[in-house]
Amino acid sequence: MIRYPIVINFILSSESEIRLANNDKIRINGISKLQATIHQKNEIIETYIIPKTSHPLILGTEYLRENKIVLDFSDFSCNQKNVPVKTAKKIELESNTEYLTFGKLPNYVTVGLQGICVNSKFSVNHKFLVAKSLVVVPVNRKVPIKLLNASNMKITIPKGKNIAEFSTLSNEYTYVAKSEKSEIPEVQNIQLVTNENGLRTDNSEQQCDLTDSPDRSEILTKIKTNFDLSDHLTDDQKSKLAECLFDNLDLFVTKENLNLGYTHLVEHVIHLKPNAVGKHHKPYRLPPFKREVLREQPDNLLEQGIVVPVSEQEELPITSPIVLVTKRNEASNSKTSTQSYRFVCDFRHLNAQTEDFKYVIPNLQELTESFAEIVPNYITSIDLFSGFFQMGISAESSRYTAFNTCFGTYKFLRLPMGLKTASKTFQLLMDKVLRGLKFRTCLCYLDDVLICSETFEKHLDDIKEIFKRFRDAGLKLGQKKCHFASETCIFLGYVSKHGIRPPKYRVKAIVDFPAPQNLKQIRRTIVLFNWFKKFIPNFSAIISPLTKLLKKNQKFEWKIEQSTAFQNLKTHLVNTDNPSFPRFDLPFILAVDTSSKGIGYMLYQKDPTKEKPNIIRFGSKSLSRWQQSYGPTKLELLGMVTSILDCADYSRGT
């Protein structure tokens, strides 16, 4: 494809002539230098201006020969014979070593095309070798390249250099296919043959072998080491689980396979309000060290096909600025480390102009209480790798996601985080993927999926079924965030077969949390304790001295009453027994305590095999100003009605 060229200079001429392909002479009107984009490659070419031509621009044989263009009259197309393969990152080649990396092909190279990667002029000039290998172009156009530094000196290859050349394979060259399960291209050293018995042709999808074909036992050993398999499993159970993971390695994003998944099940659409107002934000100013951090991040998203630069002809109704926020739990001593910051778009104006999407995200209390229906002796938690980026966004909606940086303007092709309706659309996707399995074999909250089973054999079957669902949907998982066949896990709390309790690191953070000093900190404290209210009995009554400070025209005064309530919340969180999963073969008992400060209740069961009762849930409710004026009898009745309605899911029918 040739974009419209830009004239750099023009020389008028009335005397010069040129000879055409049919040997006729024709007078030219002038000579011009044009800047044109040919096959997404910027070119400056010298052109002759001639009268009465049938086409606006004709490429001559001199240009075609210099750029090694092959004309294919079977489908009226043209392709470069040798296509450059560029480095996607800086490479350090130690002396006398082999190195395996991925090279990037231009976007105009057709996906699925078969070709051979060989040495380039750059590799020859810099004294390193490229192993002749056959590849099939994948969707992201990144092909594996094996490099050899046979010298005694270290070689540094900058990012963006042409380390190899890719040439398409003619029909006389065939190759061996090893597997039909993966989309990753196969890497082999080959000998070109012309006889039919030498090699066989197979056009199926190829398996990538990046470890010099290690045998199955070596790969299984690596799986047991690199994947988080529970320590409480027997050796036989670990072997069976490793076999399951071996058969599904293509589902995981790893260093060898960095390709993100992409699903076509759901596409995100942004619907603007009828009276939406456009706005173009300038980029936020950044300190110099953050600018250097920002420089690489759009490039990384561009390589993965997540964003694309905005063209000058495109109309953008809304553009947003970006910010760099520190990643949570990221240990880094260097301020300039790109790994310590997350690239985030400030979509606040876009969200204000967007209509809401009516879809329900699961209730956290409902999810955690649903463990009563599944005996979680074996728990596997799996997490998608950059789940939002595996979901597309419509072409029309993509215009609204444009964002400005000091290095240019881009727009998203995949679903970005921070959009008003992104979470609901993603939950819709997950509900479609796991339809028929939720609350039977797994629980799902956005991209976090929990698989719970009573026996190991059932658990293995459940994992295989969910893996199949993700593969059919085109989604991929993050290896580091997956934990297999554990007795406990972190999922909206600390989950085990005995019940749910708050994670230890969060409890410690609460214990060390300082007392608030102003109204803003009071609000933050109340929101923080609200997350733990299901673990604190009579929560509303205990926290009422703090909520009292939020009343209108209330002066902020931190007195003994507030300090006592603040410490009591911490004490109850640490010392109170944690909720257990209910047993529906035992009766439920409801204890209610009502006062003028609020209503508190506890639902529990008496297990004949235990001394202490099993607490099922705590609940509480604050009273309005009118309810606080009720008499003792009316208050007790209000407490009974409120608690019975809250626990109706358990008490009804038992």
Per the listing, tokens 């009974």 go with: 640
Strands 30-38 and 6-12: antiparallel
CA nearest to 347, candidates 296, 419, 240: 419
Helix, strand, coil % in the chain, rounded to nearest 5: 30, 30, 45
**Pair (291, 370) in one structural domain:** yes
**Pair (483, 527) in one structural domain:** no
**Tokens at residue 426, please?**
């993603």
Neighbouring-strand partners of residue 404:
409
| Alpha-carbon span 543 to 565, nearest angstrom | 6
CA nearest to 6, candidates 54, 38, 28: 38
Angle, CA 52 vertex, CA 50 and CA 58 arms, to 5° = 60
Q: Which of 135-139, 283-287, 328-332, 578-582 has the lowest mean pLDDT?
A: 328-332
C-beta of residue 61 within 8 angstroms of C-beta of residue 85: no
| Alpha-carbon span 390 to 405, nearest angstrom | 23
CATH number at residue 120: 2.70.40.10
pLDDT of res. 371: 64
- How far is the first Cα of the chain from the last one, in angstroms, to the nearest whole number? 71
**Pair (45, 160) in one structural domain:** no
| Alpha-carbon span 505 to 511, nearest angstrom | 10
**Pair (354, 439) in one structural domain:** yes
Helix, strand or coil, per DSSP, at residue 287: coil
- Tell me how many domains the chain contains: 4
- Is residue 510 a part of any domain in this protein? no
Angle, CA 423 vertex, CA 418 and CA 424 arms, to 5° = 135
The CA–CA distances, whole Å, from 643 to 179, 500, 605, 629 equal 60, 21, 16, 19
pLDDT above 80 (res 334)? no
Residue ending a domain, choose from 464, 499, 534:
499
**Pair (462, 523) in one structural domain:** no
Residue ending a domain, choose from 438, 471, 499:
499
Q: What letters, b where the CB count within 10 A reaches 16 and e where it falls short, cover 127-137?
A: ebebbbbbbbb
**Pair (620, 574) in one structural domain:** yes
| Alpha-carbon span 55 to 57, nearest angstrom | 6
Q: HSE-up of 544 (CA within 13 Å, CB side)? A: 17
- Is residue 260 a part of any domain in this protein? no
Strand-by-strand arrangement of the 483-486 sheet = 228-229, 483-486, 378-383, 448-453, 442-445
pLDDT of res. 202: 36
- Give residue-wise pLDDT tens across range 603-635: 888 888 888 888 888 888 888 888 888 988 999
**Tokens at residue 112, please?**
């699925």
**Tokens at residue 448, please?**
């976090």
Domain interval for residue 279: 267-499
C-beta of residue 261 within 8 angstroms of C-beta of residue 476: yes
CATH number at residue 307: 3.10.10.10
**Mean pLDDT value of segment 236-250:** 90
**Pair (566, 433) in one structural domain:** no
**Pair (318, 466) in one structural domain:** yes
Model confidence pTM above 0.75: no
**Tokens at residue 185, please?**
């291209």
**Pair (97, 58) in one structural domain:** no
- Is residue 196 a part of any domain in this protein? yes
- Is residue 221 a part of any domain in this protein? no
- Is residue 244 a part of any domain in this protein? no
**Pair (122, 48) in one structural domain:** no
- Is residue 258 a part of any domain in this protein? no
pLDDT of res. 336: 40
Q: How confident is the model at residue 260 (pLDDT cuts 50, 70, 90)?
A: confident
Task: Identify the H or E element spanning 309.
Answer: strand 307-309
- Is residue 255 a part of any domain in this protein? no
Q: For the purposes of burial, counting CB atoms within 10 Å of the CB of 277, is it exposed (0-12), middle (13-18) or buried (19 or more)?
A: exposed
C-beta of residue 302 within 8 angstroms of C-beta of residue 405: no
Residue ending a domain, choose from 172, 187, 211:
211
Q: Tell me the residue type at 654.
A: T
pLDDT of res. 640: 92
Q: For the purposes of burial, counting CB atoms within 10 Å of the CB of 593, is it exposed (0-12), middle (13-18) or buried (19 or more)?
A: middle
- Is residue 230 a part of any domain in this protein? no
| Alpha-carbon span 88 to 297, nearest angstrom | 13
**Pair (420, 544) in one structural domain:** no
Q: How confident is the model at residue 447 (pLDDT cuts 50, 70, 90)?
A: confident
pLDDT of res. 361: 85
216-220, 255-259, 541-545, range with greatest mean pLDDT: 541-545
**Pair (473, 382) in one structural domain:** yes
Task: Identify the H or E element spanning 545.
Answer: helix 539-547
Q: Tell me the residue type at 125.
A: N
Q: How confident is the model at residue 363 (pLDDT cuts 50, 70, 90)?
A: confident
| Alpha-carbon span 363 to 427, nearest angstrom | 12
